[in-house]
Structure 1
Amino acid sequence: MVRIGYVRLRDEASAEDSATLKGVGCHVVRAEEPAGPSDPGSSVLTAILDFIGDGDQLVVTRLEHLAHSTRTVLEVLDRLEEKGASLYVVEPEITTKGESGKALRAVLQAVAAVERPLPMRRRRSAPPAHEIRALQQAGHGPVEIARRLGVSRMTVWRKLKAAEA
């Protein structure tokens, strides 16, 4: 059995979570930046769910660290069940193995039935290329431009590359 730890990086507690997961016997601990509430898909968690095998265990420190909504937690549980794997939550100590797993699923399904769907997050429109170019010509680097305009560095790089072409 392989125990795979999963941490969503969110604050200073993330390092503590990683240490806790190593302490409970995780062979591997993977971490990622959290996606927005309207984007339940996460590349690291998806990769773990693709990789995990029969008898393996996904381990998180707290259930709310797994996903943003109860529906998404249930989707993760479904994928784990399809693979013959299980979930182990450190605090409070919960596992999806056995009868307690059935009870956990029943509770999550009940909560999901009354949970309001998360609002869809509107995508920001990228700033015009001329704004990015102007900041670059003023001597600002891509990281500073991204911070000032409230976009990702990748957006800045794409716009700069497109302007050069």
Structure 2
Amino acid sequence: MRLHDPDGASRAEQTAALKAAGCLVVRTEAPPAPGGQDFTVLNSILDFIAEGDQLVIGGLEHLGASGRAMLRALERLEERGASLYVIEPELRSTGPGGPALHAALAAVASAEPIVAIRHRRPAANQEIRALQRAGVGPVEIARRLGVSRMTVWRKLKAMEACG
């Protein structure tokens, strides 16, 4: 079980609600920072949950930071032969509501924009300076080093200010 505190209920209150729902083991974690994606405890549970087990969560928001993440968590549960029970609103991944829950999460996930994360390495000042001295322009320096043009311009300006 995993929970965090989106509605202001104390952890003790949430844990009591989960125990009242029949949970034998309750796992908690702090909510991720706004816009964050860190669901470490949930990922650990999804890695080790066994066939026939049921993940019980207080609300659907405890399953992931986005519709896509929630859908992936549900799929991971299904791959391991486990099920999901959401206390509020009451939802189950098994029984007649299971396909509807899956379809709803798939619809939400498909409506979300795909965010491409570009990983750029930081450009070292000496690399930029060496290319500039070799007569390479800022746009070409940015292309060669895999950084933005603004990064090159900022670093060149900072190097000029330092002397």
Report the equivalent of 2:56: 59
Q: Which structure 2 residues correspond to residues 82-161 of structure 1 after superposition, within 5 A?
A: 82-116=79-113
Q: Distance in 2 between matches of 1:70 and 1:37?
A: 15
Q: Distance in 2 between matches of 1:85 and 1:98?
A: 13
1:78 to 75, 78, 86: 75
State the secondary structure of the residue aligned to 1:99: coil
Q: Is 1:6 aligned to 2:2, yes or no?
A: yes
Q: 1:118 to 1:58 in 2, by over 3 A?
A: farther
State the secondary structure of the residue aligned to 2:97: helix
Q: Aligned residues: percent identity?
A: 50
Report the equivalent of 1:141: none
Q: Distance in 1 between matches of 2:72 and 2:36?
A: 14
Tell me the CA shift for residue 41 of structure 1.
4.0
Q: Is the 8 A contact 1:60 1:88 kept in 2?
A: yes
Tell me the CA shift for residue 67 of structure 1.
1.6
Q: What amino acid maps onto 1:15 in structure 2? A: A
State the secondary structure of the residue aligned to 2:96: helix
Q: Is the 8 A contact 1:38 1:119 kept in 2?
A: no
TM-score normalised per structure 2? 0.63
Q: Is the 8 A contact 1:54 1:84 kept in 2?
A: yes
Q: Aligned residues, how many?
A: 116
Tell me the CA shift for residue 59 of structure 1.
0.5
Please tell me whether Structure 1 or Structure 2 has the larger radius of gyration of its CA atoms: 2
Provide, for residues 58-77 of structure 1, a one-character-per-residue CA deviation record: whole Å limited to 9, x for no partner.
00111112221111100100
Q: Is 1:27 aligned to 2:35, yes or no?
A: no
Q: Flag the structure with higher strand content.
A: 1
State the secondary structure of the residue aligned to 2:18: helix
Over the residues paired in the alignment, what is the CA RMSD in angstroms? 2.2
Q: Distance in 1 between matches of 2:96 and 2:37?
A: 28
Which residues of structure 2 form unaligned runs of 5+?
A: 118-163
Q: What amino acid maps onto 2:12 in structure 1? A: A
TM-score normalised per structure 1? 0.63
Which residues of structure 1 form unaligned runs of 5+?
A: 121-165
Q: Is 1:36 aligned to 2:22, yes or no?
A: no
Higher relative contact order (CA 8 A, sep 6+): 1
Q: Is the 8 A contact 1:37 1:118 kept in 2?
A: no
Provide, for residues 77-110 of structure 1, a one-character-per-residue CA deviation record: whole Å limited to 9, x for no partner.
0110011001100111110002311111111111
Q: Distance in 2 between matches of 1:79 and 1:68?
A: 15
Q: Is the 8 A contact 2:50 2:80 kept in 1?
A: yes
